[in-house]
Structure formats: structure tokens, C-alpha cells
A and B are shown apart, each in its own frame.
Chain A
Amino acid sequence: QQQVKQSPQSLIVQKGGISIINCAYENTAFDYFPWYQQFPGKGPALLIAIRPDVSEKKEGRFTISFNKSAKQFSLHIMDSQPGDSATYFCAASNTGGFKTIFGAGTRLFVKA
């Protein structure tokens, strides 16, 4: 019940294309869903986050879509660029909780 399942494990996209990464959760107590971006040799850093009271959040080329009934959320990267090549983690946590549960990660490669 504490798991967050992330797919795909790896993704190759052409420059200018749309990258889509999906996550699913089971614990309905989760109420905060951040996405982290990690470059080689660096720690993960917050990219964008959503709470379940909205179905979509957009920041520049990055959009989170959230489906509360299906317990799924996804990251869309529009106009993908080679500089977006990184590992992306979805995550979930709940109010009052100490922990964040991370997905297994998706390695994105954007071909120039």
C-alpha cells in the first residue's frame, strides 16, 4: 500500500517531442505528489508538485496530470530538449507523515 509504481523505466524521445512518465499509488491518504529531476552526479531536485484538489498543474514545459479516482498521476514534458535528459522520480507523501515514498525512477534521453 505504500508503493508508488512508476513507468516506463527508460524513455527515448526526439527533440521537440512529448515525454510522458506515469505513476500509480494505492494509499488514499497520500495528498502531496512531487516530481524530482536528477542529473548525473547530483542529488534529486524538486521539479514540480501537485495536491489532489486539482487535476492539472503546469509550470513552463512541465505539466502534472492527476487522476484521483484512478490513483494515477503523470508528468508531461512538452517540446522535450536534450537538456531534459535526466532521471525523473515521482513521489507521494501525506499530511503529518515523515516519509516520502519514491517511484523507481525513469531515465529520459532526448535525442538531438
Chain B
Amino acid sequence: DAGITQSPRHKVTETGTPVTLRCHQTENHRYMYWYRQDPGHGLRLIHYSYGVKDTDKGEVSDGYSVSRSKTEDFLLTLESATSSQTSVYFCAARGDVSNQPQHFGDGTRLSIL
């Protein structure tokens, strides 16, 4: 949707390993977001970016870091993955105008064994 691509789409890894998820957008949106989706919790914001190199924490940011070196790319890194980080991760983007919808990618299913 709206040119948002997430990679990989699926990943299985072991506890303690680093993991990086990538979000790429083609719409030149200023704002980008990373969410995790878990049953009963809906979408919870991990980190967001309001411009190149401008990022801030969301409600569940512990154990995660992000980077945005280009407008089109927003990376989410789990420095040392834990089983509690097993989830489906969604990237979203939004343009400059307030109160516009966010456009989501199709998610990355991450399993940490």
C-alpha cells in the first residue's frame, strides 16, 4: 500500500542474535513508524521518525533501536533478540499534512526461538 515494502517478510532466529528489519517507501512521506502487533494488544508503537535522522521512542521501545539515513528507508534493529520480541512488525508512513491516514506495509513475521 502506497509503495511501502518491508523485508524480510518472515524471519526465524535465535535468542541473543541481532536482527534488522527494513522498511522502504517510494512516496517521499516525511513520517515513518514501526509497530508491533500481538493478540489482544492491537498495534503498539515502537519508534517513529519525523525526518531524516530524527527519531523518537514510542510506547514499547525497550530493546529496539531505529535509524533513518534516507527519507525512503527506516530500519528497526533488535540488538539482542529475546523470545518476548516474537511478533508481527509493521512499518507505516504518513505525509506532512496532519490528520491523514497512515499507510502500512504488509508486515514482517519474526519468530525468536
Q: Please report A residues at the B interface, Cβ cutoff 8 Å.
A: 6, 9, 31-32, 34, 36, 41-46, 49, 51, 89, 93-100, 102-105
Contacts and interface: CB of A to CB of B under 8 A. Distances in A.
Contact of A93 (B42, B99, B106): B99
A43 B90 contact: yes
A109 to B, nearest CB: 15
A47 B48 CA distance: 23
Categorize the interface residue count of chain B: 20 to 34
18 contacts: A9-B40, A41-B107, A43-B1, A43-B4, A43-B90, A43-B92, A44-B90, A44-B104, A46-B101, A46-B103, A94-B99, A95-B99, A98-B31, A98-B50, A99-B48, A100-B102, A102-B42, A104-B41
Contact of B42 (A31, A41, A51, A104): A104
Nearest to A43: B104
B48 A89 contact: no
A43 B42 contact: no
B43 interface: yes
A43 B107 contact: yes
Contacts of B103: 46
A93 B90 CA distance: 18
B36 to A, nearest CB: 12
B84 interface: no
B107 to A, nearest CB: 6
Contacts of A99: 45, 48, 58
Contacts of A9: 40
Nearest to A34: B101
Nearest to B45: A99
Contact of B99 (A31, A36, A43, A44): A31
B43 A89 contact: yes
